[in-house]
A and B are shown apart, each in its own frame.
Chain A
C-alpha cells in the first residue's frame, strides 16, 4: 500500500514530482495530435515570409540597404524569422496557460485537479514547463527551417547569449501569462482574449520592426513588456542590431528585474481571482 500523504504538506521532491507529472501529462496529450505539432512549426515561417516579401516588393534591390539603415542589420530574413520565432514562444505561453484553464473548466478536469492537495503554483509550474518545452522546440525548428528555406546562415552571432536572453525572458513571460489565466478564470473565455492580446504584444514587442520606430507613448509601454527585451536581446546577440542600453548585461539585467516581480505579481493576481471564484460560482463553473 502507498504511504499516506503528510496531510497536505508535501516535500520538495513530491512537489517537483507533481509538477513534472503535469508537464508529462500535457506532453503525452500533445503527442496524440501530431498534425498540430507540424502546423506549429510552419506558422512562424509563414508569419516571417509575409513581411519579408512585402519588404522586397517595396524596397526592391535596395531592400537590405534600407533595412540596415533603420534596424542595424541587412539580414532582414533572419530578423523576421527571429521575431516570429520569439513570438511563437510568447503566443504559446498565453495560449497554453489560458487554454489549460479554459479547456479544463469545460472538460471538468480543472475541478478534479483542484480536489488534490497539489497547489495551483505547482500545477501552473508544470504547465509552464510543458509550454516552454513545446514553445522552444517549435521556435528553434521553425527558425532553423526558415533559415534553410530562405538560405541564410542561422549560426551567426552569439548563440549562447541569444539563448540566455530567451531563458531569462521566460520566467517573467509566464508571470504575465498567469495574469491572462486569471482573466480567463474570471470571464470564462479564452479565444477572444488571447487572440487580441497576442497581437497587441506582437506589436509592442516589435515582431517585425524595431520598437524605436514606435511613437514615444507606445514605446514606453513596449518597454514594460518582457518579450520586447527578449526579442531585441536575441536579435542583438545574433544580428548585432544594438542593445537598448548599449551593453548586453544591462539589457539582460532588465529581464532579471522582471524575473523578480512578474511571477510574484502574476501569482498574486491569480490567487485573488481564484479565491473570488471559489467564493461564488466555483472553480469548475463554465
Chain B
C-alpha cells in the first residue's frame, strides 16, 4: 500500500569496538533500537521526535534500507523490508544527510538530473522534473552554479529537491530544516505541508518541539531506542492533563533544584539555562498546594526568583515527563514558523 508504513518490533544492535590502549580492544554490543513498533497511515505527516542519539536516525536508516535491522520486520509502501528493498527505494523519497548527499562540483540542475536517472526516470522526464523542482523551490537563479558556491541553506534546499525527484508516495525527511534560516525553514515546512495535503505520507524527524507541534499530525517520542509515546499532539498533551506545570525563572542553584525535586507532590523537574538565567520546570499533581512550599524551599536555598508562572502543557512538557530530560538547548536555536 503506497505511503503506508508498518514497523513491528524492529531492533538494531551495533557491534562496536572498545579501545583498551594502543593494541587492545574488545567488542561491545550497543542497542540502538529496542523493539520499535508503530504504524504510519497513508497520507499522514508523522513526526519522530527525540534528542540526538535517541535512535531516530537508526530507525530511518533501517526503513530506508541503508541498515539491516537485527530483528523485527517492517512493511513500507506494501513491500517487505530486507526482501523488496529495491521496491522500497523506488517508492520512497529521502533526505537523510542534508547537504552532504550532493555532488558539490556539480550544479543543482546536474545533481537533480543525475538522481533522476538513478530513480529510472527517462531523460526527458528527469530534465522536466528537475526544472519543476527548481521553480517550486525558487532555485532558478542559482541552479546552474556549482554547489560548492552555495550557502549551507541553499544546499539544504537542493537536498530537499533531490528527495522529491522521484515523486514518491512516501517522503522521509531527517531534520530537513537544519542550517536553514528562519524564512527558508518556514518556506520548506510550507512545502512539506503542501506535499502532505496532496496525499504524500511524510515521516519527519526533528529535535525541534515547535516544529513537531505545528507540523505533524501524529508524533512519536523516541528515546534510548524506544518509542515512549505516540499520538496526536493534543492526545500527548492530554496524557499530562492531570499534572500542572510551573515554570520558574531566575538564579537557581543546582542544590535548590534538587531540593525542589525532593518535595512531596513534585512528580518531575527539569532545569535548563536560558539567556543567562535558569529555568526550572516543575510538574506536580497539585500546583496550588505546592506553590508556597516551592517558593519557601527556593528562598531557603538562596535562589533569586524572577518569574514564576503556571503554564499550559506543551509538547516539551510531554517530552520531559516521558524522558526526564529537555530538548530546549537544541530547540532554542530553531527558527519558529
Q: Is A21 an interface residue (CB 8 A)?
A: yes
Give A1-20 as 1s and 0s: 1 = Cβ < 8 Å from B's Cβ atoms.
Answer: 11111111110001101101
**Shortest beta-carbon contacts, A-B, top 8:** A108-B100, A8-B86, A21-B117, A112-B101, A2-B125, A116-B118, A8-B87, A117-B90
Chain A residues within 8 Å of B150, by CB: none
- CB nearest neighbor in A for B163: A115
**Contacts A8-B84, A117-B89; A111 near B97 (Cβ below 8 A):** yes
Q: How far is the CB of A188 from chain B (nearest CB, A)?
A: 13
B residues near A, CB below 8 A? 14-15, 61, 64-68, 79, 84-92, 94, 96-97, 100-106, 110, 113-123, 125-126, 128-129, 146, 162, 166-167
**Chain A nearest Cβ from B35, distance in angstroms:** 18
Q: In the assembly, what is the distance between CA of A52 and CA of B85, in Å? A: 55
In the complex, which residues of chain A have a beta carbon less than 8 angstroms from the beta carbon of B79?
Answer: 7
Q: Are B68 and A17 in contact (CB under 8 A)?
A: no
Q: Is A149 part of the contact surface with B, judged by Cβ < 8 Å?
A: no
Given A29-B105, A112-B97, A112-B102: A7 and B118 within 8 A (CB)? no
Q: Out of A29, A111, A113, which one reaches B118, CB within 8 Å?
A: A113
Distance of A1 Cα from B129 Cα, bound (Å) = 7
Q: Bound complex: CA of A8 vs CA of B120, how far in Å?
A: 9
A32:B66 contact, CB within 8 angstroms = no
**Interface size class for chain A?**
35 or more
How many angstroms between the C-alpha atoms of A111 and B17 in the bound complex?
A: 23
A4 to B94, CA, bound (A): 16
A1 to B88, CA, bound (A): 20
Interface residues of A (CB under 8 A from B): 1-10, 14-15, 17-18, 20-22, 24-25, 28-29, 32, 107-109, 111-119, 275, 278-284
**Quick one: given A2-B121, A3-B122, A17-B120, are A115 and B89 in contact (CB under 8 Å)?**
yes
Between-chain CB contacts (< 8 Å), 13 pairs: A2-B122, A2-B129, A7-B84, A8-B90, A15-B120, A17-B123, A22-B117, A25-B110, A25-B114, A29-B103, A32-B146, A115-B66, A279-B68
Closest-by-CB residue of A relative to B2 is A4
Question: What chain B residues lie within 8 Å of A278 (beta carbons)?
Answer: 66-68
Contact B126 A2 (CB under 8 A): yes
Say yes or no: A25 contacts B96, CB within 8 Å. no
Given contacts A7-B79, A118-B117, 9 further A-B contacts (CB under 8 A): A2-B129, A3-B125, A6-B90, A7-B91, A8-B88, A112-B115, A112-B162, A280-B15, A282-B61
CA–CA, A25 and B103, complex, Å: 9
Min CB distance B207 to A, Å, is 20
**Closest CB in chain B relative to A172 CB, distance in Å:** 27
Q: Are B86 and A117 in contact (CB under 8 A)?
A: yes
How many inter-chain residue pairs (CB < 8 Å) link A and B? 132
Q: Known: A25-B114, A109-B101, A109-B103. Contact between A115 and B120, CB under 8 A?
A: no
Q: B84 to A21, Cβ gap below 8 A? A: no
Residues of chain A contacted by B119 (CB below 8 angstroms): 5, 116-118
Nearest chain B CB to A132 CB, angstrom units: 19
Q: Is the CB of A108 within 8 A of B97?
A: yes
A5 and B68 contacting across the interface, CB-CB below 8 Å: no
Smallest CB separation, A195 vs chain B (Å):
24
Q: Cβ of A107 and Cβ of B104 under 8 Å apart?
A: yes
B115, A284: Cβ atoms closer than 8 Å: no
Check A2 against B167 for contact (C-beta < 8 Å).
yes
Min distance, Cβ A73 to any Cβ of chain B, angstroms: 43
Q: Which residues in A have their C-beta under 8 angstroms from that of B90?
A: 5-8, 117
Closest B residue to A107 using CB positions = B100
Return A217 CB to nearest CB of chain B, in Å.
Answer: 32
Task: Give Cα A9 to B86, complex, Å.
Answer: 8
Q: Contact: B167 with A1, CB < 8 Å?
A: yes
In the bound assembly, the distance between CA atoms of A220 and B114 in angstroms comes to 44
Distance (whole angstroms) from the CB of B53 to the closest CB of chain A: 15
Taking CB atoms, residues of chain B closer than 8 Å to A25 are 103, 106, 110, 114
CA gap between A14 and B125 in the complex, in Å: 12
Q: For the complex, give the distance between the alpha carbons of A2 and B126 in Å.
A: 7
For the complex, what is the distance from the CA of A7 to the CA of B92, rounded to whole Å?
Answer: 10
Which of chain A's residues has its CB closest to B125's CB?
Answer: A2
A227–B125 alpha-carbon span in the complex (Å): 41
In the assembled complex, how far is the CB of residue A1 from the closest CB belonging to chain B, in whole angstroms?
A: 6
Give Cα A10–Cα B15 distance, bound, in whole angstroms: 35
- Chain B residue nearest to A4 (CB atoms) is B167
Contact (Cβ within 8 A) B117 A5: no
Most buried by B among A17, A113, A117, A119: A117
How far apart are B77's CB and chain A's nearest CB, in angstroms?
A: 8
Complex: A24 Cα to B116 Cα, angstroms? 13
Among B89, B101, B120, B122, find the residue whose CB has the most chain A CB atoms closer than 10 A: B120
CA distance A5 to B110 in the complex (A): 20
B-side contacts of A29, CB under 8 Å: 103, 105-106
CA distance in complex: A116, B87 (Å):
10
